[in-house]
Amino acid sequence: MACAKCLLIVFNFLISINGLLLLGVGVFMKVQKDVVTDDWNSQAIALMVLGGTIFTISFLGCCGAIGESKCMLYTFGSILMVIFILQTIIAILLLTSKDKISKHLNEEVFGKAIAENKENEVVINIQTNVCIFI
C-alpha cells in the first residue's frame, strides 16, 4: 500500500507541475503586448483554464494521498471517472460522425485554404496526404 501511495503522490506532483506550467504559459501569452489578436487571447485563456483545471485535480489527488483523506481521494477518483466517461463518449461520437468530419474538412477547411492559396504547396500536401487518413 505504501508503494501505491508513493506513486500517487509522485505522479500527481509531476502532473501538478505540468498544470502550473500550462497556467504560466497562458498567463505569459495573455500579458504579451506585441501580439494582440482574438485567437491569441482565446488560446491564452484556454491554456489558463486547462492548466488551472489540471493543477486543481492533481493537487487534490496529491494532498489526498499525503493526508490519507478519503474524501479527497474519492473526489479525485470521481473526477477522473467523469473525465474518462466524457472522453469515451467523445471518442464514440467522433467515430460515428467520421464521414461528416472528413467531408467538412475537405470542403470547408482545406477547400477554402486551397482556393485562397492556389500555389501554396504546403496546403496541397496537407490536404492530399493528411485527409486520406480521416
- What is the DSSP annotation of the chain? -HHHHHHHHHHHHHHHHHHHHHHHHHHHHHH-SS---HHHHHHHHHHHHHHHHHHHHHHHHHHHHHHT-HHHHHHHHHHHHHHHHHHHHHHHHHHHTHHHHHHHIIIIIHHHHHHH-TT-HHHHHHHHHHTT--
Predicted confidence at residue 105, as pLDDT, reads: 73
Read off the pLDDT of residues 90-115 as tens digits, 9 standing for 90 and up. 989 888 888 887 777 777 766 666 66
Chunked mean pLDDT (size 10), the chain, 134 residues: 83 90 88 72 86 91 87 90 93 85 73 62 62 55
pTM: 0.65
Predicted confidence at residue 104, as pLDDT, reads: 74
Listed by start position, the domains of the chain span 2-96, 97-134
